[in-house]
Chains A and B, each alone.
Chain A
Amino acid sequence: MVTILEMILRRLALSGLILLLVSAVVFLGTEILPGDALDASIPADELMYYTEEDLARMRAELGLDKPVLERFVTVFGNLVTFDFGVTLLTREPVIDSIHHSMLNSMLMASVALIVTPMVAVVLGVAAALRPGGRLDAAVSGATLFSYSMPDFVVGNLFIMVFAIWLGLAPAVLMISESAPAGQVLAVSVLPVMALVVSGVAYQFRLLRSGMLEALDSDFVERARLAGLPEWRLVVVHALPIALIPMLNGTAQFVASIISNVVVIEAVFRFPGIGLELIRAIAQREVPTVQAITFMAAFAVILSNLLADIAVLALDPRVRRRADAR
């Protein structure tokens, strides 16, 4: 059992290292601007109202007058301690300016993060029970189709069908950024459906192939020969093993949900972190962009770590390998 702890600690250390590298990537991606962040964040037609001294003073306040290497050390240190600094123009702490929208997005994304794998498991198990059968062909074809639909097209399609033709939901979300959680969830139905449709294909395919492999394996055959009922074979014996490929794909799944959230928020005008990010990029509000990107990467790395631990718990083969060492 000590060895499992060792494995977890090793993954934890690796995740920490990757997080450090991510902050370097975020810094390089945002701060090596032609010109600098301040020039870029002031609209061209307002620039003439600032004197050269004003600009120099603001630059000094923001630390933009320091050499690149020194700024890198500062930004790097801030990011890894979750201190995201202040916004360029309003000087409000970045975390204050984005925390409402971040909570809204986390609420919506977590529903999608739970519902998508559940739908994938149901479809994947159903398809794997009779591979090549009619249900399998239909679901496999449908998911390849939904996988190929751009997420903003799916979102707009839902608006046209559910909001405009059927009149079941409002097309444009009239909701304030600081609305209570219940209200946010209530308007999240269509956005979450769009997220699930865009995200389910990848997980379904991983689960289906995992399920086929598990049903074909010796230990399931042994259980079958022992006379266990088929549903027990599938749910108790095969499914835990079939979940492993899906869990191994967690990082990619969470990352794609985050990408999709940004797009879906723009489609539905959902007051979340995606709209905030788009605004921040358009206004070249570098500290905000850094904060959002870094936290997105943090979420990906953390969920991957949790999935790794879940795999350890599910797969006796991995545990045995750890014990043998």
Chain B
Amino acid sequence: MPADLSALLSAPSGSEPPAARPLARALRSPLTVIGLALVGFHLFLAVFAPIIAPYTISGIHTTGLTPPTAEHWLGTDQIGRDYLSRLMSGGRVALLVALIGVSAAVLTGAALGLLAAYRGGWLDDAIMRLTDALMAVPELLLIAILVLTFGKEIWSLAIIVAIVYTPGVVRVVRAKTLTVAALDFVRAAELRGERPARIMAREIAPNLLGLISVEFAIRCSSAILKISALSFLGLGISQPTPDWGLMVQEAMSVVFTDPWFLVAPAIALSSLIIGINFAVDGLARAYGVTGAGSEGLA
């Protein structure tokens, strides 16, 4: 509360556009800035890794694992490939899968949640019981059994992420829709005789955007974690694709002699997740968005 008050007192009167003020407030917190910087850094790496990496991800330079040298800053892996180059590309697949899968989950989940809450009745019951059932299966287990069915190519993993993350979004969006639908401007639109589809799209949906973006970011970080855990378990992304989860798993056998080999991918993955969560935490707080998904965070 005191933070809100000081922001109110120090806010210049109307010289800034209103949307800029919460952003400026969020940027005053060092954790949020660190978070945003980390996310930016990782997105940059994911896009440009093949161009800026010193070597290719598959080129073989030595006959086995070597410690860091001047030519190979992080050494080479068991097969003799440059570890730094592989590390730089190690988040690409997980990030891509998470972005595609979670986008689909958020779009589907928002539509279903909106429909369930606004239409109510049997449709609401059916959608909610199905989400209950899907959410009763622990996420990693659900992902794992779906891998059994769909396979582990990039597109299969994206579909799996979409299926696994939709129910949570449905539940959060439904709860928010119930509150919004009870507000006066929705009542007014109903009294004007607007069609339900138009009310959902024009009156309610715009009020869900903040919640939906927070959900998107949080579930992206969760999906990246789960995809990495899956490859760590040997059930997801497999060789020769570089992937941080897989790299951690391979490094476990040499952790006694060459610990940096494990530490490097562990830092890479953790810094991406920490970045996303810090950024979301700060932004959600500044914009006053909380949802069931962000409850654990904001």
> Interface of A with B (CB < 8 Å)?
17-19, 21-22, 24-26, 29-30, 32-33, 132, 141, 144-145, 147-153, 156-157, 159-160, 164, 171, 201-202, 205-206, 209, 249, 251-252, 255-256, 258-259, 262-263, 266-267, 277-278, 281-282, 284, 286, 289, 292-293, 296-297, 300-301, 304
B252 close to A (CB within 8 Å): yes
> B141 in the interface, Cβ–Cβ < 8 Å?
yes
Number of chain B residues whose Cβ lies closer than 8 Å to a Cβ of chain A: 50
User: Are A206 and B295 in contact, CB atoms less than 8 angstroms apart?
Assistant: yes
Is B205 among interface residues, defined by CB-CB distance under 8 A? no
- Tell me whether B139 is interfacial, beta carbon within 8 Å: yes
CA A252 – CA B129 in complex, angstroms?
A: 16
Given contacts A25-B133, A150-B228, A153-B270, contact A258 B138 (CB under 8 A): yes
Chain A residues positioned under 8 Å from B225 (CB to CB): 150
5 CB < 8 A contacts A-B: A148-B221, A148-B273, A252-B135, A262-B141, A297-B138
A300 touches B252 (CB 8 A): no
Residues of B near A251 (CB, < 8 A) are 135-136
Report the minimal beta-carbon distance from B219 to chain A, rounded to whole angstroms. 13
- Determine the residue in chain A with the shortest Cβ distance to B251: A156
Cβ of B145 and Cβ of A282 under 8 Å apart? no
Bound: A138/B117 CA distance, A: 39
Which residues of B are in contact with A by a Cβ distance under 8 Å? 2, 31, 129-130, 132-142, 144-149, 221, 225-226, 228-229, 232-235, 245, 248-249, 252, 255-256, 259, 262, 266, 269-270, 273-274, 276-278, 281, 295-297
Other than the known A150-B273, A258-B141, A263-B229, what 10 A-B pairs have Cβ atoms closer than 8 Å? A144-B278, A144-B297, A147-B297, A160-B255, A202-B296, A259-B138, A263-B140, A263-B233, A266-B233, A281-B235
- Smallest beta-carbon distance B39→chain A, Å: 12
Query: A22 contacts which of B133, B228, B233, B295 (Cβ < 8 Å)?
Result: B133
Q: Which of B137, B234, B297 is within 8 Å of A26, CB to CB?
A: B137
For residue A159, which residues in chain B have a CB less than 8 angstroms away from its CB? 255
**Structural contact, B248 and A205, CB atoms closer than 8 A:** no
In contact, A149 and B297 (Cβ under 8 angstroms): no
